[in-house]
Structure 1
Amino acid sequence: MGNLDADLLDRWTKLAGPLVSAVGEDLVHRYREPHRRYHTVEHLAAMLAVIDDLAADATDADAVRYAAFFHDAVYAVDRSDNEEASAQLAERMLPALGVNPELVTEVARLVRLTAGHHPDPGDNNGAVLCDADLAILAADESGYAAYTSAVRAEYAHVPDELFRPGRAAVLQGLAQQEHLFRTPTAQARYESAARANLATELAELTAE
């Protein structure tokens, strides 16, 4: 087991308790599936770090952390219901751990929210989770290049003439939002860099 896996398992046991480490091991194993290139343990660890930074903006930071562990637990590039399947996994697994029903409901709701990243105004937990999931958009030049390369690798089976317009449509949907980030902290820290990265990638994707 690598150091990152061990760190994630330590975070899981602090969150859920030492008696349920097997569930944490299963979740980490899922993020280690060989077909993943971006939706990996590195992505999960980065999200948890951002959630720590934004925790004061959440109503229940631990609910957001649970949601981070589950949000990409089911991930396959050939299905469109990954978030729904991941939410259902949380709804099956968390009650068996003794997590109270209200928290289970909130975690599943948050996981489903990552399908579109559109938290309602006042949804503090949703804002923190979505901001953490999108924080990679504000990476520096090398970090953003690594991110886009990893996303392309996950879709290596899709030819360029299909991938480029599909990816561009996703980015345009993001760019058209009034705010990419919802918490004041993330807006101040990430918004301008993320919009610059989106504009650059869109220009590359749509160039003749």
Structure 2
Amino acid sequence: MTLARRWPLPDHHDLRDDLLVAWDRPGYHDLLHLSEVLDRLDQLAAAGAGFDRTVVGLAAWFHDAVYQGAEDDEERSARWAERALPPMYAEEVARLVRMTAHHRPDDGDPAGCALSDADLAVLAAPRERYDAYVAGVRADFAHVGDADFRAGRAAVLADLAAKPHLFHTAQGRGLWEAQARANLERELTGLGRG
């Protein structure tokens, strides 16, 4: 199924097309990432995770819609959602997009937990895809020198690895936790921080 057909609203096709253009860029935060996040949301729903598929699907479409490697990318993406979406969706989608800046949803937030898990599920990818993801992240930060990138990447990964669980839903933990931990350990070791 093409990404255009996965748009969760039956209308607003101009907005969908604008989002597809925004996601069509090199690096990790590209159309493949959007597709994978939507796939992981489908997996979580099929495994029994309960969340509003339309709202979380819209949040997936917006969560990295603005991506320039800046600290305010999520905020700018959230503001776009607030301006562009119908009022019945705008506030909740923007809240979810902002949550992806740190991936620490409240336990009682099924929508936030599902979006966070789907966004981080790449951490559990098979080795070849995981390595391509890491290369894509490096491409996203091509403007950063190697030493600074390695230090920053190691800090991000160490912060993730220190969490009691990488995934917030029971379904996400069952599907992805063990492989994600193994990938993080391998990458951290390669960065000299294992």
Distance 1:58 1:44 in 2: 21
Unaligned 5+ segments in structure 1 are: none
* The structure with more radius of gyration: 1
Tell me the CA shift for residue 158 of structure 1. 1.3
Q: Report the RMSD for the aligned CA atoms in angstroms.
A: 1.3
* 8 A Cα contact 2:83 2:90, kept in partner: no
- Could you tell me which residue of structure 1 aligns to residue 75 of structure 2? 84
Using structure 2 for the length normalisation, give the TM-score: 0.94
Tell me the CA shift for residue 104 of structure 1. 1.7
**Which digits, 9 at most, give the CA deviation of each residue in 1:134-182, with x for residues without a partner?**
0000011111111111111111221111110000000000000010001
Which one scores higher on RCO, CA 8 angstroms, separation ≥ 6? Answer: 2
* 8 A Cα contact 1:164 1:206, kept in partner: no
Give aligned-pair identity as a percent.
47
**Which digits, 9 at most, give the CA deviation of each residue in 1:73-96, with x for residues without a partner?**
11102x21000110000000003x
- Could you tell me which residue of structure 2 aligns to residue 11 of structure 1? 6
Distance 1:195 1:107 in 2: 29
- Could you tell me which residue of structure 2 aligns to residue 190 of structure 1? 176
**Which digits, 9 at most, give the CA deviation of each residue in 1:30-50, with x for residues without a partner?**
0013xx310000000010011
Tell me the CA shift for residue 10 of structure 1. 1.2
* 8 A Cα contact 1:165 1:206, kept in partner: no
Q: 1:167 to 1:158 in 2, by over 3 A?
A: same
Structure 1 stretches of at least 4 aligned residues deviating more than 4 Å after TM superposition: none
SS at match of 2:107: coil
Instruction: For 1:40-79, list aligned pairs within 5 A.
Output: 40-55=30-45, 56-77=48-69, 79=70
Unaligned 5+ segments in structure 2 are: none
> Which one has the bigger helix percentage?
1
